[in-house]
Chain A
Amino acid sequence: MSDIGSRPALLDAAGLGKRYGGIVANDGIDIRLDQGQALGVIGPNGAGKSTLVGLLGGAIAPSEGTIRFEGQDITTWPACERARRGIGRTYQIPRPFLDMTVAENLAVGQFSISPFISAGSAQAERRQILERCGLRDAAEMKAKDLPLLRRKRLELARALALKPKLLLLDEVGAGLIDSEVTELIALIRSLQDGTRAIIIIEHVIRIVKECCADLMVINFGKVLTKGRTADVLASDEVGAVYLGTSHGRAGRPPQAATPAAAPKAPTPTTPLLTLERVSAGYGQARVLHDLSLSAIPGQVVGILGTNGAGKTTLAHVISRALPVTAGKIRFDGDDITDWPAHAVAARGIAHCMEGRRIFASLSVEENLLVAARDVGAADRKRRLERVYGLFPILAERRNAGGTSMSGGQQQALAIGRALMAKPRLVIFDEISLGLAPVMMDRLYEALAALKREGLTMLVVEQDVERALDIADIAHIINKGRITLSGPAATVRNDERLRHLYFGTEE
């Protein structure tokens, strides 16, 4: 994929592998990168992409293989020495220095690589980087007061303060709306000055398509294929593994749409769940503003919006994992605003959390049973059988460790666990995140079955089409406020939905 010149490659990683006990995270990965090159790395979640960043950046020691940078063997170098040598990275989940200002966050890199840089030029550099990353106004804010998306910008800014020769970007585009992706692409392109090499790990295909000449696809820790970006993206193999249904636009099996279309025409009863002008946030950062919504029994409510819009915060607020700063939450006639989480669960709200949150030291069956609380043995068994009926694989693996299964199986376990409490309302938060399309279909089929049984559900999704397929009504959340609500069909065709997602607005 790269021309072998007379000079040594900037980066030459050969046979990189990482094993954790029996689990192979990376296996036999070769990367050769010259100055000025940009390489995209894609692959499903759990494919080992972030492990690769860790191996190259020095946070993770490889189990096998060598890494050469500018001709020098850096395989055993710690992260700090690699950074000083010119390898900068970002974290997928931002890790800023929380108690320091944004400007100080940048200064850390500056002062560590050049302790005697003049104050003036350091400041000018910082200002320029912050300007570039759209953080200029936040220079004196504490990093802990930044919302998530701005923290991601800070990740990039902090890496740039190192003036890296090789920049490793780990999912910097995740959660951005289209217009922001456009900005990000422009920013990345401006960083490609002909000498700096960039490795971009992404889910957002547009970014790699527009920024990287070469593309590598990883699956199950191994290189599946690599080559020119256009060729790789066009290959059937890659399409099958990765792009199956990327954003619901292309080649979706049609049967998924049918169950949702059947209108239940429920007679409007009193709502099961009501949120009245709820506000909430983390520390200084307010995420939800004055948000009101309700769900009547048997209804499926879709909560849509881009990453960072406040969807997960909303889910946490309803299950009381996060306190509200203002407003009221009612469930089945009770004001549950100040109830502790476990009491809310006992009252009948289950929350299938983002990221699955499986208990690692419990077996699959224990993970399920632990959620069936205060019921007799017969009832527990009945519920267990129901979950096993819904997901037979869980019955097969019942004695396995909770986290020893694949991502999709763990997600099935998380859904099953939520059902074990025999809840009257379930919040499903991003259950499709990072799963292969086939697995997503299977999970949503299960949800459709639950809907037919009359379960009230709140479906929080980034994947608009999937959510709208199953939802009766939908709310679009943007920057912590509901900006659009209505029956799923109406929302689907609303111009404003397209504005939000395709960036024709602001």
Chain B
Amino acid sequence: MTATLSSPGRPGTTSLDRRAIAGAAAGGLAFGLLMLAPALLSTYFVEIGFKLLLYIVLAEAWNLLAGYGGLVSLGTSSFFGLGAYVTAGLLNQSGMGLPLALGVSALAGMTIALFMSRGLFRLRGLYFTVGTLALAEALRLLVVNVPWFGGASGLFVTVDLPDTPELFRFAAGLLALATAVMTLATGSRFSVLLRAVRDDEDAASQVGVRAFRIKLAAFLAASALVAMAGGLQAAKLGAIEPYGSFGMQWSIDPLAIVIIGGLGMRLGAVIGGAFFVAIGELLADYPELHVAITGVVLILLIRFAPRGLCGLAQALIKRRSAPGATREAGA
């Protein structure tokens, strides 16, 4: 996480380059495997896999905002629902293909994010969280009440849609995009500025950081990713309706995944997503119980492992590899 500055005294560049190449190779390999996966897996696992990929994308976006930017959002569902509605609308009305519709959804997500940012970013800390919650609820109520988008009952997508293996590949592509965005945003100079804003926004602006723009950049990126995920979900269901597409669960789940996996941890979304989807499958027949148990897990992790499963693993590895050796801060 702190690899953005090569430490003095160590010839930084070569090891950094090597790490970047290794990372890119591993990422490419994983992506290749994902693209092949639908052909190899049973229908059930393709279904699960699609869900998992979608959740990881949402969680990555949420982690970018909350973990790296300190912007704890409860408004993921606003952008998810927006993406779903825009994608479905475009597919029905314009004859656009799915990739293009998703792209436009991303733009729509960014537009709303840009529009809302003025108000939302005036709110700091907990108030930002409450503000995003209000935004999500307001959008949902709006869509329920105005008659244009099928009102409370929603709409069906009337054109032919790609089958699940194809959508799985779309989701894999979206995850690749999310990974690229996250790598750029968390491993670059931008991440230094973003974390500075997270730690102390006023102090950051005193050293020249345009905090608003930095937060906005993260917010735009996250909103675009979430909107595209929403679009894919609409394509998967072949329908949109306000209670589902704008449902609170789309705000809750990414948050739960990241807290389970590890807030501000690069692998948090993936680990948390796998855990979350697994629990969800085990309790598939008891959706309420699933959510309630998620709540219990959340509370337990916040209390006993605030850095999630990744943080736990890290602490374990550290203890293994360096028994007794404590890297204390000397005076």
Do A and B touch directly, given a CB cutoff of 8 Å in the complex?
Answer: yes
Q: Which residues of A are at the interface with B, using a C-beta cutoff of 8 A?
A: 57-59, 78-81, 83-84, 88-89, 91, 95-101, 103-105, 107-109, 111-113, 115, 119, 123, 126-127, 139-142, 145-147, 158-159, 161-162, 284-286, 479
Quick check: A78 and B199 within 8 Å, CB to CB? no
Q: Is residue B321 contacting chain A, with contact meaning CB distance below 8 A?
A: no
Task: Point out the residues of chain A lying under 8 angstroms from B209, CB to CB.
Answer: 80, 108, 112
Q: How far is it, in angstroms, between the C-alpha of A159 and the C-alpha of B207 when the chains are bound?
A: 7
Task: Point out the residues of chain B lying under 8 angstroms from A146, CB to CB.
Answer: 329
Using A108-B192, A142-B329, A479-B331 as known contacts, list a sample of 20 further A-B pairs with CB atoms less than 8 Å apart, ordered by residue number in A.
Answer: A78-B205, A80-B205, A83-B207, A84-B208, A96-B200, A97-B199, A97-B200, A98-B199, A98-B200, A107-B189, A108-B209, A109-B208, A111-B192, A139-B8, A140-B7, A145-B329, A146-B329, A161-B207, A162-B208, A285-B329
Instruction: Choose one: B2, B12, B193; the contact of A101 (CB below 8 Å).
Output: B2
A123 to chain B, nearest CB (A): 6
Task: Point out the residues of chain B lying under 8 angstroms from A161, CB to CB.
Answer: 207
Quick check: A119 and B195 within 8 Å, CB to CB? no
Q: How far is it, in angstroms, between the C-alpha of A58 and the C-alpha of B205 when the chains are bound?
A: 9
B214 to chain A, nearest CB (A): 9
Task: Point out the residues of chain A lying under 8 angstroms from B2, CB to CB.
Answer: 100-101, 104
B26 to chain A, nearest CB (A): 24
Task: Point out the residues of chain A lying under 8 angstroms from B199, CB to CB.
Answer: 97-100
Q: Is residue B281 contacting chain A, with contact meaning CB distance below 8 A?
A: no
With A107-B5, A145-B329 known to touch, is A119 a contact of B208 (CB < 8 Å)? no
Quick check: A103 and B8 within 8 Å, CB to CB? yes
Q: Which residues of B are at the interface with A, using a C-beta cutoff of 8 A?
A: 2, 4-8, 12-13, 189, 192-193, 195-196, 198-200, 202-211, 328-329, 331
Quick check: A59 and B206 within 8 Å, CB to CB? yes
Instruction: Choose one: A58, A112, A127; the contact of B210 (CB below 8 Å).
Output: A112
Q: How far is it, in angstroms, between the C-alpha of A113 and the C-alpha of B210 when the chains are bound?
A: 10
B208 to chain A, nearest CB (A): 4
Quick check: A95 and B203 within 8 Å, CB to CB? yes
Task: Point out the residues of chain B lying under 8 angstroms from A142, CB to CB.
Answer: 329
Quick check: B329 and A88 within 8 Å, CB to CB? no
A432 to chain B, nearest CB (A): 28
B307 to chain A, nearest CB (A): 12
Quick check: B5 and A95 within 8 Å, CB to CB? no
Q: How far is it, in angstroms, between the C-alpha of A112 and the C-alpha of B207 when the chains are bound?
A: 8
A-B contact pairs, 24 of them (CB 8 A): A57-B206, A59-B206, A79-B205, A79-B206, A80-B206, A80-B209, A83-B208, A88-B207, A95-B203, A96-B200, A97-B204, A99-B195, A99-B198, A100-B195, A100-B196, A100-B199, A103-B5, A111-B189, A111-B193, A112-B209, A123-B6, A147-B331, A158-B207, A284-B329
Q: How far is it, in angstroms, between the C-alpha of A284 and the C-alpha of B6 when the chains are bound?
A: 24
Task: Point out the residues of chain A lying under 8 angstroms from B6, CB to CB.
Answer: 119, 123
Quick check: A119 and B205 within 8 Å, CB to CB? no
Quick check: B207 and A104 within 8 Å, CB to CB? no
Question: Which of B8, B189, B199, B207 lies at the interface centre, i.e. has the most chain A CB atoms within 10 A of its CB?
Answer: B207
Nearest-CB residue, chain B, relative to A149? B331
Q: How far is it, in angstroms, between the C-alpha of A357 and the C-alpha of B209 when the chains are bound?
A: 33
Q: How far is it, in angstroms, between the C-alpha of A14 and the C-alpha of B12 when the chains are bound?
A: 49
Q: How far is it, in angstroms, between the C-alpha of A162 and the C-alpha of B209 when the chains are bound?
A: 11
Task: Point out the residues of chain B lying under 8 angstroms from A159, CB to CB.
Answer: 207
Quick check: B200 and A95 within 8 Å, CB to CB? yes
Q: How far is it, in angstroms, between the C-alpha of A234 and the C-alpha of B40 when the chains are bound?
A: 89
Q: How far is it, in angstroms, between the C-alpha of A26 and the C-alpha of B137 when the chains are bound?
A: 44
A125 to chain B, nearest CB (A): 11
Question: Which of A140, A142, A145 lies at the interface centre, i.e. has the most chain B CB atoms within 10 A of its CB?
Answer: A140
Q: How far is it, in angstroms, between the C-alpha of A140 and the C-alpha of B5 when the chains are bound?
A: 10
Q: How far is it, in angstroms, between the C-alpha of A127 and the C-alpha of B5 when the chains are bound?
A: 12
With A79-B205, A97-B204 known to touch, is A119 a contact of B193 (CB < 8 Å)? no
Task: Point out the residues of chain A lying under 8 angstroms from B12, CB to CB.
Answer: 119, 123
Quick check: A115 and B189 within 8 Å, CB to CB? yes
Task: Point out the residues of chain A lying under 8 angstroms from B328, CB to CB.
Answer: 284
Task: Point out the residues of chain B lying under 8 angstroms from A100, CB to CB.
Answer: 2, 192, 195-196, 199
Task: Point out the residues of chain B lying under 8 angstroms from A89, CB to CB.
Answer: 206
Q: How far is it, in angstroms, between the C-alpha of A488 and the C-alpha of B137 when the chains are bound?
A: 68
B4 to chain A, nearest CB (A): 7
Q: How far is it, in angstroms, between the C-alpha of A194 and the C-alpha of B210 when the chains are bound?
A: 29
Quick check: B203 and A97 within 8 Å, CB to CB? yes
B16 to chain A, nearest CB (A): 9
Quick check: A104 and B4 within 8 Å, CB to CB? yes
Instruction: Choose one: A78, A88, A123; the contact of B5 (CB below 8 Å).
Output: A123
Nearest-CB residue, chain B, relative to A142? B329
Q: How far is it, in angstroms, between the C-alpha of A112 and the C-alpha of B213 when the chains are bound?
A: 11
Q: How far is it, in angstroms, between the C-alpha of A306 and the C-alpha of B6 when the chains are bound?
A: 36
With A95-B203, A111-B189, A141-B329 known to touch, is A101 a contact of B208 (CB < 8 Å)? no
Task: Point out the residues of chain A lying under 8 angstroms from B211, CB to CB.
Answer: 80
Q: How far is it, in angstroms, between the C-alpha of A107 and the C-alpha of B5 when the chains are bound?
A: 8
Task: Point out the residues of chain B lying under 8 angstroms from A84, CB to CB.
Answer: 208
Quick check: B193 and A108 within 8 Å, CB to CB? yes
Q: How far is it, in angstroms, between the C-alpha of A57 and the C-alpha of B204 when the chains are bound?
A: 12
Task: Point out the residues of chain A lying under 8 angstroms from B192, CB to CB.
Answer: 100, 104, 107-108, 111
Question: Which of A83, A99, A112, A126 lies at the interface centre, i.e. has the most chain B CB atoms within 10 A of its CB?
Answer: A112
Q: How far is it, in angstroms, between the C-alpha of A123 and the C-alpha of B199 when the chains are bound?
A: 22
Task: Point out the residues of chain A lying under 8 angstroms from B203, CB to CB.
Answer: 91, 95-97
Q: How far is it, in angstroms, between the C-alpha of A146 and the C-alpha of B328 when the chains are bound?
A: 11
Nearest-CB residue, chain B, relative to A159? B207
Task: Point out the residues of chain B lying under 8 angstroms from A111, CB to CB.
Answer: 189, 192-193
Task: Point out the residues of chain B lying under 8 angstroms from A88, CB to CB.
Answer: 206-207
Question: Which of A78, A100, A145 lies at the interface centre, i.e. has the most chain B CB atoms within 10 A of its CB?
Answer: A100
Q: How far is it, in angstroms, between the C-alpha of A97 and the C-alpha of B191 when the chains are bound?
A: 13
Q: How far is it, in angstroms, between the C-alpha of A147 and the C-alpha of B328 when the chains are bound?
A: 13
B69 to chain A, nearest CB (A): 12
Nearest-CB residue, chain A, relative to B329? A145
A284 to chain B, nearest CB (A): 4
A74 to chain B, nearest CB (A): 14
Task: Point out the residues of chain A lying under 8 angstroms from B331, CB to CB.
Answer: 147, 286, 479
Quick check: B202 and A59 within 8 Å, CB to CB? yes
Nearest-CB residue, chain B, relative to A79? B205
Quick check: B207 and A162 within 8 Å, CB to CB? yes
Nearest-CB residue, chain B, relative to A285? B329
Quick check: B7 and A79 within 8 Å, CB to CB? no
Q: How far is it, in angstroms, between the C-alpha of A120 and the C-alpha of B234 when the chains are bound?
A: 48
Q: How far is it, in angstroms, between the C-alpha of A80 and the C-alpha of B209 when the chains are bound?
A: 6
Quick check: B5 and A83 within 8 Å, CB to CB? no
Task: Point out the residues of chain B lying under 8 angstroms from A139, CB to CB.
Answer: 7-8
Question: Which of B5, B202, B206, B329 lies at the interface centre, i.e. has the most chain A CB atoms within 10 A of its CB?
Answer: B206
Q: How far is it, in angstroms, between the C-alpha of A83 and the C-alpha of B4 when the chains are bound?
A: 23
B136 to chain A, nearest CB (A): 28
Q: How far is it, in angstroms, between the C-alpha of A3 and the C-alpha of B106 when the chains are bound?
A: 58
Q: How far is it, in angstroms, between the C-alpha of A141 and the C-alpha of B5 when the chains are bound?
A: 13
Q: How far is it, in angstroms, between the C-alpha of A88 and the C-alpha of B204 when the chains are bound?
A: 11
Nearest-CB residue, chain A, relative to B264? A99
Nearest-CB residue, chain A, relative to B195? A100
Q: How far is it, in angstroms, between the C-alpha of A91 and the C-alpha of B329 when the chains are bound?
A: 23
Task: Point out the residues of chain A lying under 8 angstroms from B5, CB to CB.
Answer: 101, 103-104, 107, 123
Q: How far is it, in angstroms, between the C-alpha of A290 and the C-alpha of B206 when the chains are bound?
A: 39
Q: How far is it, in angstroms, between the C-alpha of A89 and the C-alpha of B208 when the chains are bound?
A: 11
Task: Point out the residues of chain A lying under 8 angstroms from B4, CB to CB.
Answer: 104, 107
Task: Point out the residues of chain A lying under 8 angstroms from B206, CB to CB.
Answer: 57-59, 79-80, 83, 88-89, 91
